[in-house]
Structure 1
Amino acid sequence: MTASAARGFPAFPPQRAGARFATTWWGRAWVQAMEDTSLDHKLLRKGRAYAKTGQLGPITVSPGRLAAVAESEYDTVVRVEQLGDAAWERFLDQVAAKSGHIAALLDGDMPHDLVEAAADAAVPLLPAVGDLEPECGCPDWGHPCKHAAALCYQASWLLDADPFVLLLLRGRGERDLVEALQGRDAPAPSTRAAPAGVPVAPAYAAGVPALPEPPPADVPRTLPTWAPAPGVDVAALAGLAASAAARARELLLRGRLPELTEHQDHVRLAAEHDLGLGGLPDAAVQAWRYGGADGLDALENAWTPPRRDVARAQALLEAAWEDETRPEVRIWRNRWTLGSLQLRYGRDGRWYPFTLREGDWWPAGPPERDPAALLS
């Protein structure tokens, strides 16, 4: 076992009311994997309270294992499957393929494209539903119990601060990875002609190759220009051409485009390319800029969310007011009103904030999966 095989972290002190878990995208993915596994929202709520009030002792992170002592008597452990040697080699290939990856990790960032490239190479870094295995000595039957849930919530703070914590849980620490990368030289370009074929055994042993990088986002776009002509709005025509080019690029990168109604497409054009198409309310354009088609739907349509989603949102909001007087919440379908603030649950699983403006509800910011994060 190397010196980097285990790391210890001091116990978290009690946090202020309304403190958030997981502010990074990879930290939120960790929390979501744990929450989506749980079927007991009361235990999750208690776990959040335990995490915020400092009910856990120091945390130890080691390969495949996250551990702490809860309430000074219960040994609480969350296990994560470790990656094998072959998977680590494929991961190192992905890190070494782009010079900025290791710099981003050392700077406390987990690049999206690195995680996606690793997944394409059959190297799962982020946990999915059921990947976190909790164990605890307490009498709770929950999966996870409130102590294991609290440990996962506090671990999201560790992951926010240092993505190498996630890599250590998967089997290797920062020192191991940096040393492995330092000893890995990029292959020199060959001047020999390519052979006519490759033997089958080496081809299979090479594993799944990495996908090529997508086209860079900053490629200058050259659009046609038109001379003024009777009955032709040249500025609008240029905007439509820019929109078509952007949609073509998105289709190239993603392989598909969401289907839009004529109304949605009009709003999209007005929001993304400042095309004044007439008859569109400003709120619709602003809703699109914050959340696209889902944000527009949250503005224009009311619907009834599943009971499980409602229960989870209620638990999140209650946890945010552990030590404060909870304001009155008026609930109508997917719209929850708290005084001059209204939270609308979108069909995409995110909450959209709205504020009163001259008697109407106006989109107030980008959406969040945790409604408590919008209270400020």
Structure 2
Amino acid sequence: MTNARGFAAFPPQRAGARFATSWWGRAWIQALEDTSLDHGLLRKGRAYAKTGQLGPITVSPGRLAAVAESEYDTVVRVEQLTDAAWERFLDQVAAKAGHIAALLDRDMPHDLVEAAEDAAVPLLPAVGDLEPECSCPDWGHPCKHAAALCYQASWLLDADPFVLLLLRGRGERDLIEALQRRDVPAAPPSSVVPPSGVPAAQAYAAGVPPLPEPPPCDVAFSPPALEPADGVNVGALAVLAASAAGRARELLLRGHLPELTEHQDHVRLAAEHDLATGPEAAVQAWRYGGAGALDVLENAWTPPRQVLARAQAQLAAGWEEESPPRVEAWRNRWTLGPLQLRYGRDGRWYPFTRRDGEWWPAGPPERDPSALTA
């Protein structure tokens, strides 16, 4: 039986404190906000979370609980995985040694979550997966207390993804023991000489040794010495070689690279190597936010209404003056006087300002639009 885990109450946070810095923590917040029927209660929940209105938090299989305002029992339930689903998940973890190391290092690899989803094992919650309950008289779904509990839970998830796995039904010790049992080799027949080496169970019991130093990824690239030749642009070859080295370094660090169109790759080369061959605004956009910033510069699209409603609530909650500014909204573009915010398909807001009568990229993006109005 998996024991529950207890966490001390969060104290009041500093002004400007953010929720969910990890990608899996943001997915948790997204599930909460997409499920909410009242953005006003979400705003109150964020305030309750930041001002320390909840008591200690208890995490157990399928259940997240705390006491709010010293009197209301607040619970958020999450569906537990079946035994068959856990077996499929363990198959995915065991399939790649890096998955185990990442989890023990308190990281949740993208490819592990994607592989689990392919095996019909939903680790991250989606719309409707979080079921709030509270003894307060508020009929909101969720009420401000349950919303505050979910927002504070995102801090727990940031620090330890095993909290999410415990909510899904199994804790860290259960998972490690299951992996140890899975990797114990069957006893060989007496006529067969057992293979040399250390059994996996014994290796796991010995603990996690320190990892070797990662390969250097910040070594300055030195272009190859190329002899001039007829019909060969040696300078262009040097740029392409530097670009290939940079992409290889990024692949080592991130594990994957997005596919780029010919136009996107042209802008990327101009932005990263100070070439005068790309459109100036496009190059500036790429330097602020890559392909996502280039897309919002060149294309308008219509986001879902619930996304825009949530952003409107964030903007109002983060505005420190007497009343929020008037917004002129058109599709994914919101104009607030001299500032324009554009919502990207990657879920981030990009700032633009006027320059020679045109809107120009003005800075890196934020997930909370109110962070750009300062």
Is the pair's TM-score, using the shorter chain for normalization, greater than 0.5?
Answer: yes
Provide the rounded CA distance (Å) in 1 between the counterparts of 2:161 and 2:49.
20
Provide the rounded CA distance (Å) in 2 between the counterparts of 1:263 and 1:116.
29
Provide the rounded CA distance (Å) in 2 between the counterparts of 1:80 and 1:108.
21
The unaligned stretches of length 5 or more in structure 1 are 189-217, 219-225
- Per the alignment, in what secondary structure is the counterpart of residue 184 of structure 1? helix
Taking only aligned residues, the RMSD between alpha carbons, in angstroms, comes to 3.9
- Per the alignment, in what secondary structure is the counterpart of residue 327 of structure 2? strand
- Give per-residue Cα distances to partners, 1:32-62, cap 9 Å, x unaligned: 0111111211111111111111111111100
- Give per-residue Cα distances to partners, 1:150-198, cap 9 Å, x unaligned: 111010000001111000000011111112222221769xxxxxxxxxx
Provide the rounded CA distance (Å) in 2 between the counterparts of 1:49 and 1:139.
19
Deviation at 1:357, TM superposition (A): 8.1
Provide the rounded CA distance (Å) in 1 between the counterparts of 2:361 and 2:102.
34
Q: Looking at both structures, which has the greater relative contact order when contacts are Cα pairs under 8 Å and sequence separation is at least 6? A: 1
Change (3 A) 1:366 1:112: farther
Deviation at 1:241, TM superposition (A): 11
Aligned to 1:76: 74
Contact map agreement 2:270 2:278 (CA 8 A) in 1: no
Deviation at 1:343, TM superposition (A): 3.4
Aligned to 2:95: 97
Change (3 A) 1:235 1:330: farther
Aligned to 1:46: 44
Q: Summarize the alignment of residues 222-301 of structure 1 with structure 2, pairs less than 5 Å apart.
A: 233=233, 236=236, 266-268=266-268, 270-271=270-271, 274=273, 276=275, 278=277, 280-281=279-280, 283-300=281-298
Provide the rounded CA distance (Å) in 2 between the counterparts of 1:122 and 1:306.
26
- Give per-residue Cα distances to partners, 1:331-372, cap 9 Å, x unaligned: 333555779875332355420134688997653554332224
Deviation at 1:136, TM superposition (A): 1.2
Aligned to 2:144: 146
TM-score by length of 1: 0.73
1:131 aligns with 2:116: no
Deviation at 1:15, TM superposition (A): 1.0
Change (3 A) 1:187 1:234: farther
- Per the alignment, in what secondary structure is the counterpart of residue 34 of structure 1? helix
- Give per-residue Cα distances to partners, 1:209-256, cap 9 Å, x unaligned: xxxxxxxxx9xxxxxxx9967666465578789999x9xxx9xx99x9
Q: Summarize the alignment of residues 1-376 of structure 1 with structure 2, pairs less than 5 Å apart.
A: 1-2=1-2, 5-185=3-183, 233=233, 236=236, 266-268=266-268, 270-271=270-271, 274=273, 276=275, 278=277, 280-281=279-280, 283-300=281-298, 308-320=306-318, 325=321, 329=325, 331-333=327-329, 343-354=341-352, 362-374=360-372
% identical aligned pairs: 82
Provide the rounded CA distance (Å) in 1 between the counterparts of 2:278 and 2:78.
54
Amino acid at match of 1:166: L
Provide the rounded CA distance (Å) in 2 between the counterparts of 1:181 and 1:373.
43
Provide the rounded CA distance (Å) in 2 between the counterparts of 1:98 and 1:375.
44
TM-score by length of 2: 0.73
Amino acid at match of 1:331: V
Contact map agreement 1:18 1:320 (CA 8 A) in 2: no
Change (3 A) 1:327 1:270: farther
Change (3 A) 1:19 1:318: farther
Provide the rounded CA distance (Å) in 2 between the counterparts of 1:16 and 1:294.
31
Deviation at 1:31, TM superposition (A): 0.4
- Per the alignment, in what secondary structure is the counterpart of residue 158 of structure 2? helix
Deviation at 1:286, TM superposition (A): 2.9
Deviation at 1:267, TM superposition (A): 2.9
The unaligned stretches of length 5 or more in structure 2 are 187-216, 218-225
* Range moving further from structure 2, 360-369 or 88-97: 360-369
Provide the rounded CA distance (Å) in 2 between the counterparts of 1:375 and 1:62.
40
Provide the rounded CA distance (Å) in 2 between the counterparts of 1:129 and 1:177.
26
